[in-house]
Structure 1
Amino acid sequence: MIVCDDHVLYLCPKGVWGGNWKVTLENQCALRGTSVVLKCEYDYPFGNIVTVVRWFKVQQVSGNRKLLPLSDLPSPPDFTYIGNYRGDCKLNVNNVQPADEGEYAFGFTATFGGFISQRYAYLSVKELTTVVQPSTVTEGGTVRLTCSSGCPQPVEAVLFKDGQLVLLSVFRARIEDAGRYYCVGLFGQKTVRSASVALKVHYAPKKVNLTMSPSEDIIKGGTVAFTCSSDANPPVTQSGYSLYRDGEFVSSGQNHNISDIQPSHSGRYHCRAWNSISWRGSSLINSSEITLDVQYRPMNISVSVDPQPVVEGNSVNLTCSSTANPAADNYTWYKRTETPISSSMVQVGSGQVLSLPSMGASHTGFYVCRVRSSLGGNNSTEVMLDMKETLHGSHTLPVLAGIGIAFFMMLVIVLLLFCLLKKKQPASPDTKQTDFSGIGSSSEDPYDTVYANVQMFPSSPLPVATASQRDSHCDAPKSHEEVTYSTVTIKTRNLRPPSHTNNSGASHDSRSKMSKTDISVIYATVTKSS
């Protein structure tokens, strides 16, 4: 005797009327959510009429098996008896759930007895599973997708990714291949879908981007914020970002702020991202460059004077220079005016260059250049404009010096000639007459020629001689730094008588006449050493 439940006892005699009591069951495997039929056959002795059929689920109670009718289950599943009362005892289970898994038994009651199966049918409930191998792959790696039911019978299934049909079950992973995959299978007459499985594709940083705020009209002294971002898997950490200016490292981290921006911060910036994943041989990926252009009003203003030194009468240019961004577009010149009781600045011109065509005493003083741009203006320091030497004196001095030297040379020549004539002049007319008579028979020209070569050495200036000094020079020139040396060559030509006669008186008269009219000619050549 077997206890079937708390209310009904089935007596299972064997061999009543010569027949056999039996129940044949088969184990089944079903996918969650599908329907399954528990196959069952039973037999009984001839002459019996089956009156009651019932399915039981085997429960474990205190280590003992207890048969609990399906109708008494806490959450009765969707069971449908599809057998009959003549040997077919199949049971249909709809929408199989994991709680339905277990052992099942069948029993029946007939006219002359009843029977409960001694062996049980085991119902396995499985999940349709999507398998992604590997579930995490580096870009370019191989991925294999499969659908598994866990049941012996094959399952016809197709793969989907985020609702899109997947044509290849084996492929090389791309970034866009990342997502959730699942299988949809046909199990009997029922369609079942597996749980989705994620495929993670790791890749090096892409779309590395550097942003700057504000992006334009950055004024000196303001604040600028740099932010670096990227698309990467795994994501780039804070330490994986670096900021560079003109190729030089600035800082690490995703964000970089400059609170007091200066012109020195201007340059081309880019950021670099790193997450340990290489792409085409490189694991350091750079963003595109952005330009930081710091604007500032004119600064470092200076004034230059050309030419130097400033000379009276010459033209003078005052040039104003500065650095500014945007460039300076206005230059104004001011000159300080002084009065006994006050001092003020007076505008004297505009433009980057202030030109003074002819420097004069009224132009001397302190000048200031004011430079302006669209952002404002600044002044230069005061520049003193002064004349070092007058133009008139510088020109007339060489002229006067030349005239003085020429005059002194002429004076020296006259003194030399005077001294020579004084030394060569006879003491009395009689002596001069005797001298000329001594050369009366000479065949040369009756005129004496005197050549004087005078060289002047300009190493030291020569003083103007006084009357007393002239006499001393004529008598005996002394060796002195101011003495000018001269070389005088006197050539005497013989007097040619007009004719030869026997009349001595005529000859004598002729010589006498010639001596009275004789004139000495002196040539002087003066050479100035350059």
Structure 2
Amino acid sequence: MKKSWIILLFISHAWSGDWRVTFKDQCALEGTSVLIGCEFDYPRGHLVTSVAWFRGQRLSDRWVLYSLSTQVRFNYVGNSRGNCSLAINNLNRADEGHYFFRFKTVFNSWTSMRPLHLSVKELTAVLEPSTVTEGQEVSLSCWSGCATRLQVVWYRDGTPVPRQVFSASIKDSGSYYCTVLGQKIQSASVALNVQYAPSDVLLSMKPAGDVLNASAVTLGCSSHANPPVPQSGYSLYKDDQLISSGRDHIISPLQPRHSGLYHCQASNNISRRGVTYVSSSGMNLDVQYLPSVAEGSSVNVTCSSTANPANHSHIWYKWTNSSSLLQMGSGQVMSLPSMETSQTGMYLCQTRNRLGVVSSTKVLLAMEDDTSGGRSLQVLVLAGLGVCLFGILVIALLLLWNKLRNKAEKKVQGATRAALKSRGLLILALNQAQVPAQHVSPAASENQHDNIYANVSLSTPPTHPPPHILSKQQHAIDEHDEVTYSTVTIKAKHRQESRFKMEEHDETVIYSNVANSS
């Protein structure tokens, strides 16, 4: 009887415990490891035979459990005597969800009444504000989404940031991220945009160095600014006078008047200590130009030198197209009284003493270019007037020459007839070998053009020689060796009238022989 009581007492004590599993929901960062604390209990007298964690998925009104035994990142770190803790390594977002713990004894099994919820969060870097003006305050905060307070370290482009609250400057622009102290985990990077007025404003010139007139240069303005300076934000000044707006300014062709001190200004509408426009340092543009003179003006070019013994001769030369030297003169000063286009070119002088000869550097002497449109127009107008006047002059000369020629012809014809008539030396003879006048056709008469042949002597015979004198003269003519024939063409004013006269008087051909007495 006593033994039975002891057995009942033991059984009553063994079944007096509670079946339970105790844990808390967890929140952890992606990429970290988490230890889920867990405890379980059961009535005394039971022997735990197995323990396991399951992933739970809610389907309709019930939970479906999936074993984690195949997950290598999940490690059971508890025991079979009440500790059911679970460690999960290298968490990822897919690990977020609901978990159940189950244990079995010889007589029974128990599953947690409710699931454990695991939240997996990302580490997030926050800049307030993310876009600031230089001098404005910036606050850094690292947010995990979990209630647990984290110890974090901040970095900017890989460099540790000492303070989480600071006044922004140009150097503070960059990418920021935070990390959890002691863990290899960092947030995604966020950019801090620090806007500032233009700095390092620079005026440049291309090509650099000395420049000659008739060439071109480009003046460019640049700066560091955030936001960048727009095209309209740049201004170019010459001697404090506004020249143009824009990043680049081209001067072509260069003229001596372009020489001066230039600087540029830049603005992006952000002020620095109340100043919106920032200026560059000045740049002096020195336009070098070749000696040039206007056409027709006088030029004096001087050759100076020092020597011991003193120079005693200076000779000037000009380079020709064949690359040879043409001597232009001597003396220390070469004078060109009236500059012409042919005199442009390269000149040099040579100085000589008893020790030798030294040549100077070459100098280009050029004509001034007339680039003004007004002067070009004047030249065109003058050229047009010159052509018109020349044409009028040519026409007038032609008319005058024609008139003088007609008068001369009339004078010659009148003088010839008067001389022949006054001297009485015309001997008329009808050429019987010619076609008789009455048989000459009008066309033939026209083609003959009233030909007249005259032989004129150089002597002065009497006005009315007697017959015996005529016979002697005729004899003298026959004996004379040189007989001169002169052809005179007389064009009738009315060709038809002339033809009728010739037929009537039969004077189409006239021969005249005059002796040349010595």
Amino acid at match of 1:56: F
State the distance in 2 between where 1:230 and 1:375 align. 41
Q: Post-superposition, which runs of at least 4 consecutive aligned residues in structure 1 deviate over 3 A?
A: 15-19, 60-65, 189-192, 300-304, 318-322, 331-334, 345-352, 365-375
Pairing of 1:13-412 with structure 2 (within 5 A): 17=15, 19-61=17-59, 65-71=63-69, 76=71, 78-186=73-181, 190-300=183-293, 320=300, 347=329, 349-351=331-333, 376-378=364-366
8 A Cα contact 1:333 1:367, kept in partner: no
Structure 2, gaps ≥5 residues long: 1-12, 303-313, 318-326, 348-360, 369-518
CA contact (8 A) 2:30 2:122 kept: yes
Measured after TM superposition, the shift of residue 231 of structure 1 is 0.7
Q: Which has the larger radius of gyration?
A: 1
CA distance in structure 2 between the aligned counterparts of 1:25 and 1:153, rounded to whole angstroms: 17
Q: Is the 8 A contact 2:294 2:339 kept in 1?
A: no
Which residue identity lines up with residue 73 of structure 2 in the other structure?
Answer: D
CA deviations over 1:16-49 (Å, ceiling 9, x no partner)? 9554322112111212222111111112233322
Aligned to 2:215, what secondary structure does the other structure show?
Answer: coil
**TM-score, length basis structure 2:** 0.55
Deviation, 1:160, is 2.5
Q: Take 2:237 and 2:175, find their aligned partners in 1: how far apart are those partners?
A: 38
1:378 aligned partner, one-letter code: A
Amino acid at match of 2:39: E
Normalised by the length of structure 1, the TM-score is: 0.54
Q: 1:332 to 1:141 in 2, by over 3 A?
A: farther
Which letter maps to 1:90?
S
Q: CA deviation at 1:332?
A: 10
Give, in angstroms, the shift of residue 378 of structure 1. 2.9
Distance 1:332 1:377 in 2: 17
Contact 1:179 1:198 survives alignment (8 Å): yes
Counterpart of 1:192 in 2: which secondary structure?
coil
Q: Residues 375, 65 of structure 1: CA spacing in aligned structure 2 closer, same or farther, 3 A cutoff?
A: farther
Instruction: Write the distance in 2 (CA, Å) between the matches of 1:226 and 1:198.
Output: 35
* Structure 1 spans left out of the alignment, 5+ residues: 1-14, 305-317, 323-330, 335-344, 355-364, 381-530
Number of residue pairs matched? 319
Partner of 2:94, secondary structure, is: helix
Structure 1 pair 238–174 and aligned structure 2 pair: CA distance change class (3 A): same
Structure 1 residue matching 2:243: 3-state secondary structure: strand
**Structure 1 pair 119/276, CA: closer, same or farther in 2 (3 Å)?**
same
| Closer, same or farther: CA 93–182 of 1 in aligned 2, 3 Å | same
Moved more, 138-147 or 238-247: 238-247
Task: Give the structure with the larger helix fraction.
Answer: 2
- Rounded Cα–Cα distance in structure 1 between residues aligned with 2:63 and 2:250: 74
Q: Could you tell me how far apart the structure 1 residues matched to 2:251 and 2:72 are? A: 69
Identity rate, percent: 46
- Judging changes above 3 Å, is the alpha-carbon distance between structure 1 residues 349 and 321 closer, same or farther for their aligned structure 2 residues? closer
How much has 1:81 moved relative to structure 2?
0.4
- Measured on the aligned residues, the alpha-carbon RMSD in Å equals 3.5
Task: Give the corresponding residue for 2:459.
Answer: none
Deviation of the 1:175 alpha carbon: 0.9
Q: What does the per-residue CA deviation read over 1:140-196, in whole Å, with 9 as the maximum and x for residues that have no partner?
A: 11112233333222222232223333222222111112222222323xx64533333
The answer to which structure has the higher strand fraction is 1
CA pair 294-78 structure 1, distance change in 2 beyond 3 A: same
